[in-house]
C-alpha cells in the first residue's frame, strides 16, 4: 500500500534507477531532474523502504547492545543513561539500536550474540563491563564483527575502545580523603574478574601505598554492583568491629545502597563517615545525602562509542583506537561537601 520507488518513477516517466540516484545525491543526474524527483517524492510521501535497502546493501543499519545483567534486575540507572546516550547518537546517524539483556558470561548471552550475528540483525556491537578473558572480545574479533568497548583487555586483539581512568580517579579521591584526615578505608567492588573492578581496585591499592596504609583484604568486598548488594555490603562493612571511615564504592548504585544502609543503622554520612561512588548517574544528585562521585559522563561516552562503532562499520578507520577519559571528581554531601 505505501508508495514505492516505482510509483514515483511512473509518475515522472523516469526509470527507477534515475529516481534512486537522484534521491541518493549522485552527481550524474541532471539538476532539473533531481529537483523534480525530490519534489515529487516529497509530495507523494515516498520514503525508501529500509528493509529493501538493507537487503540490497547487506547491512542491517542496526547496532546491538546486550546488558550484562541478571534477569530480574531491569532498570539500572547506569544502563538507562548509557542506552539513552547510545540511542541518541544511533538515531542521529539513522541507525537502529537493538538492546537485550542476559546474565554475564552465560550461555544465554552467548546465544543472543550468535543469533544476532547469524541473522544479520546488527552490523556491530557495543560492549561494556568487560571481563578478564571475555569470550565476547575473542568471538567478535575472530568473526570479523565490528565492535567497540569500554575499557580494554591487555592482549593482542585489536579493537576500538574508550578507556576511563578509574585507577587515576580513585587514587586522586583517596588522596583528598586522606588529606581530610581519613585513615581507615574500605573498597566495595564488583565481580573479581571485571576490568573496571580490577582497574579501580588498583587505584585504591596504589593510593594506600602512597600514604603508607596497609591494605586490608577484609576491607574489600565483591558485589554485583547493584543497589541491593550495596545495601548488604554496607551493612557488612559498617557492622565490623572497627569500621572504616571512608567507603569507596565501585559505582553509584552500590554507593546509594550503602547510604541507605547507613541511614538505617542511624549513622550520619558526610563527616566522620564518608561514602563515594563512581559513574555520575543522575540519581546521585538526589540521594540522601547527595553522592560524591567520579563522573564518567555516561551519556556522552555512550554516544562516542556509537559514533566510533559506526565509523568502523562504514570502514573509515578510527583515528585513535583507544580514547581516554579522565572521570571528573564531583564533590557532594556524602563527603561533607
Chain positions contacting a second copy, by CB under 8 A: 2-3, 45-52, 54-55, 60, 74-75, 77, 80-81, 84, 87, 91, 96, 98-100, 114-115, 117-121, 227, 260, 263, 282, 286, 288, 299
Q: Which does 263 bind (CB under 5 to 8 A by kind): a second copy, DNA, none?
A: a second copy
Q: Does 235 engage in binding with DNA (CB under 7 A)?
A: no
Asked whether 245 and 183 are in contact (CB, 8 A), the reply is yes
CA–CA separation, 278 vs 275, rounded Å?
Answer: 11
Closer CB to a second copy, residue 84 or residue 331? 84
Closer CB to DNA, residue 3 or residue 321? 3
Q: Does 41 engage in binding with DNA (CB under 7 A)?
A: no
Minimum Å gap between C-beta 143 and DNA is: 16
Residues 55-84 that bind DNA (CB under 7 A): 55-58
Q: Does 307 engage in binding with DNA (CB under 7 A)?
A: no
Closer CB to a second copy, residue 46 or residue 185? 46
CA–CA separation, 337 vs 330, rounded Å?
Answer: 10
Q: Which of 10, 30, 210, 215 binds DNA (CB under 7 A)?
A: 30
Q: Does 180 engage in binding with DNA (CB under 7 A)?
A: no
Closer CB to a second copy, residue 36 or residue 100? 100
Q: Partners of 161 in the beta sheet?
A: 149, 322
Tell me the torsion sign for CA atoms 304, 307, 309, 312: negative
The Cβ-side half-sphere exposure at 168, using a 13 Å CA radius, reads: 11
Q: Does 154 engage in binding with DNA (CB under 7 A)?
A: no
Q: Which does 29 bind (CB under 5 to 8 A by kind): DNA, a second copy, none?
A: DNA
Q: Does 24 engage in binding with DNA (CB under 7 A)?
A: yes
Inter-CA distances, 297 with 85, 181, 293, Å: 10, 29, 11
Q: Does 286 engage in binding with DNA (CB under 7 A)?
A: no
**Three-point CA angle 83, 88, 93, nearest 5°:** 125
Neighbours of 185 (CB within 10 A): 23
| Residue 148 CB contacts under 8 Å (≥ 6 apart), including other chains | 124, 125, 126, 127, 159, 160, 161, 162, 305, 308, 309, 312
Closer CB to DNA, residue 196 or residue 310? 310
Which residue, chain included where needed, has cell 534521491?
Answer: 23
151 grid coordinates? 575499557
Inter-CA distances, 102 with 61, 66, 67, 253, Å: 23, 7, 6, 19
Q: Partners of 99 in the beta sheet?
A: 65
Q: Does 31 engage in binding with DNA (CB under 7 A)?
A: yes
Decide: residue 6, CB within 10 A, 0-12 exposed, 13-18 middle, 19+ buried: exposed
The window from 8-16, 154-162, 192-200, 301-309 that contacts DNA (CB under 7 A) reads: 8-16
The window from 49-57, 76-84, 91-99, 187-195 that contacts DNA (CB under 7 A) reads: 49-57
Minimum Å gap between C-beta 216 and DNA is: 57
Closer CB to a second copy, residue 161 or residue 223? 223
Q: Which does 5 bind (CB under 5 to 8 A by kind): DNA, a second copy, none?
A: DNA
Decide: residue 73, CB within 10 A, 0-12 exposed, 13-18 middle, 19+ buried: middle
The residues binding DNA (CB under 7 A) are: 2, 4-6, 13-18, 20-21, 23-24, 27-31, 33, 46-49, 52-53, 55-58
Amino acid at each position: 500500500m505505501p508508495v514505492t520507488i516505482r510509483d514515483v518513477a511512473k509518475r515522472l516517466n523516469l526509470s527507477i534507477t534515475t529516481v534512486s540516484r537522484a534521491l541518493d545525491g549522485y552527481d550524474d543526474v541532471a539538476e532539473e531532474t533531481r529537483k523534480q524527483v525530490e519534489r515529487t517524492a516529497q509530495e507523494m510521501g515516498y520514503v525508501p523502504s529500509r528493509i529493501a535497502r538493507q537487503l540490497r546493501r547487506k547491512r542491517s543499519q542496526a547496532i546491538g547492545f546486550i546488558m550484562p545483567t541478571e534477569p530480574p534486575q531491569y532498570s539500572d540507572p547506569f544502563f538507562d543513561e548509557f542506552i539513552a546516550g547510545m540511542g541518541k547518537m544511533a538515531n542521529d546517524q539513522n541507525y537502529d539500536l537493538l538492546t537485550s539483556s542476559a546474565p554475564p558470561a552465560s550461555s544465554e548471552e552467548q546465544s543472543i550474540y550468535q543469533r544476532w550475528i547469524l541473522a544479520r540483525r546488527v552490523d556491530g556491537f557495543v560492549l561494556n563491563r568487560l571481563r578478564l578473558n571475555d569470550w565476547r572480545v575473542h568471538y567478535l574479533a575472530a568473526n570479523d564483527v565490528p565492535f567497540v568497548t569500554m575499557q580494554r583487555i591487555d592482549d593482542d586483539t585489536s579493537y576500538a575502545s574508550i578507556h576511563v581512568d578509574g585507577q587515576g580517579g580513585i587514587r586522586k579521591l583517596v588522596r583528598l580523603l586522606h588529606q581530610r584526615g581519613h585513615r581507615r578505608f574500605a573498597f566495595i567492588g564488583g565481580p573479581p574478574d571485571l576490568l573496571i573492578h580490577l582497574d579501580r581496585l588498583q587505584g585504591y591499592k596504589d593510593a594506600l601505598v602512597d600514604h603508607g596504609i596497609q591494605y586490608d583484604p577484609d576491607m574489600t568486598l565483591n558485589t554485583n554492583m547493584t543497589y541491593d548488594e550495596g545495601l548488604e555490603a554496607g551493612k557488612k562493612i559498617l557492622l565490623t568491629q572497627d569500621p572504616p571511615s571512608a567507603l569507596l564504592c565501585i559505582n553509584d548504585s552500590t554507593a546509594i545502597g550503602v547510604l541507605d544502609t547507613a541511614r538505617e543503622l542511624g549513622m550520619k554520612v558526610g563527616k566522620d563517615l564518608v561514602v563515594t561512588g563512581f559513574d555520575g548517574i543522575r540519581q546521585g544528585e538526589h540521594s540522601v545525602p547527595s553522592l560524591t562521585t567520579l563522573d564518567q559522563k555516561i551519556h556522552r561516552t555512550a554516544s562516542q562509542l556509537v559514533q566510533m562503532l559506526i565509523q568502523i562499520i562504514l570502514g573509515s578507520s578510527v583515528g585513535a583506537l583507544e580514547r581516554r577519559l579522565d572521570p571528573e571528581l564531583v564533590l557532594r554531601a556524602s563527603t561533607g561537601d
